[in-house]
Copies of this chain bind each other. A is one copy, B any other.
Amino acid sequence: MEGYKSFLFFLVCSLLLGFVAVIFSLVWVLHYREGLGWDGGAAEFNWHPVLITTGFIFIQGIAIIVYRLPWTWKCSKLLMKCIHAGLHLTALVLAIVALVAVFDFHNAKNIPNMYSLHSWVGLTVVILFSLQLVLGILVFLLPFASANLRAALMPIHAYSGLLIFGTVIATALMGITEKLIFALKDPAYSKLPPEAIFVNTLGVLIFVFGALVIWMTTQPAWKRPPEQNLKTLRPEGGTPEGTEDGSTDYSNTEKSDVELNSEAARKRNLKLDDAGQRATM
């Protein structure tokens, strides 16, 4: 992999930041707030920031970069797709539980639902995320879609995935803003008590985690190389795995594993895959 050390640096930093963000969300609700519970009270609401940070931000971020991990490039594309989809599904389940927690809390306390910009964008992004997941499974995981359809939809899938991820982060920052204004009364948010500094820092951690994930995902040199030994990988009656990169070059599909794993072959393949790179980010 070109720039392997640089990739490792970004990977470690992003995983560390994401992990610390999850810890921060836990410390926030357990130390500064009312803890966790499922009683219609504040402790139930508190699942919302914890599950969003854990699932919709950290796990979604990992799901996005999972193809880029060079030590997975020997695994079949199908396996990696299952991991990619599985992590996204986990993120979705946690996000839905996070939504249930907040609706439940609002209903128990007679607080209106769906009035804030945070809720408008947040619910929209959960719906879009679900659609993205269902369409992704139908088109890219199951063996029904044609190579042309996959190639045509891949740039949209990649872009909308990153857009959804960025939107989740923007929504989290709005949520933090909202919660700190409502929750901090004495001293107020504007007095910048320790909780305000702590949770603002959580927002910054989430933001930088997102920026690193998007950087790693948009570096073409760190992209998983296209599949070569299609016969052993593609499901019966399925389409060549490599085509959803947008590439239409099949001349290179019979290379041996030995050559596939050599650095010279990697560089040659990268050039051949350039047409494919054009269609993705």
Q: Which A residues form the contact surface with B (CB < 8 A)?
A: 111-112, 115-118, 120-121, 155, 159, 163, 166-167, 169-170, 173-174, 176-178, 180-182, 189-192, 196, 199-200, 203-204, 207, 211, 214-215, 218-221, 270-271, 274-275, 277-279, 281
A121 touches B278 (CB 8 A): no
Given contacts A118-B177, A163-B215, 12 further A-B contacts (CB under 8 A): A112-B191, A115-B191, A115-B196, A116-B180, A117-B203, A120-B200, A120-B203, A163-B214, A177-B177, A274-B274, A274-B277, A277-B278
Q: Is the CB of A274 within 8 A of B278?
A: yes
Q: Known: A112-B192, A177-B117, A178-B177. Contact between A281 and B211, CB under 8 A?
A: no
A214 CB contacts on chain B under 8 angstroms: 163
Instruction: Indicate which residue in B167, B207, B270 contacts A167 across the interface (CB closer than 8 Å).
Output: B207
- The smallest C-beta distance from A219 to any residue of chain B, in angstroms, reads 8
Most buried by B among A177, A180, A199, A277: A177
Whether B192 and A115, one on each chain, are in contact in the complex, defined by CB atoms closer than 8 angstroms, is yes
- List chain B residues, Cβ under 8 A from A169: 170
Secondary structure at chain A's binding surface: helix, strand, loop or mixed?
A: helix
Determine whether the beta carbon of B189 is less than 8 Å from that of A220: no
Contact A275 B281 (CB under 8 A): no
Return 14 A-B CB contacts under 8 Å, by A number: A112-B192, A115-B191, A117-B180, A117-B199, A117-B200, A117-B203, A121-B204, A121-B207, A166-B166, A169-B170, A170-B170, A221-B278, A271-B275, A277-B277
In the assembled complex, the CB of A175 is this many whole angstroms from the nearest CB of chain B, namely 9
User: Chain B contacts of A199 at CB under 8 A?
Assistant: 117
Contact B181 A121 (CB under 8 A): no
User: CA of A262 to CA of B81 in the docked complex: distance in angstroms?
Assistant: 41
Q: For residue A267, give the distance in angstroms from its CB to the closest CB of chain B.
A: 11
CB contacts (< 8 Å) of A279 on chain B: these are 220
Assess whether B277 is in contact with A115, with CB atoms less than 8 Å apart: no
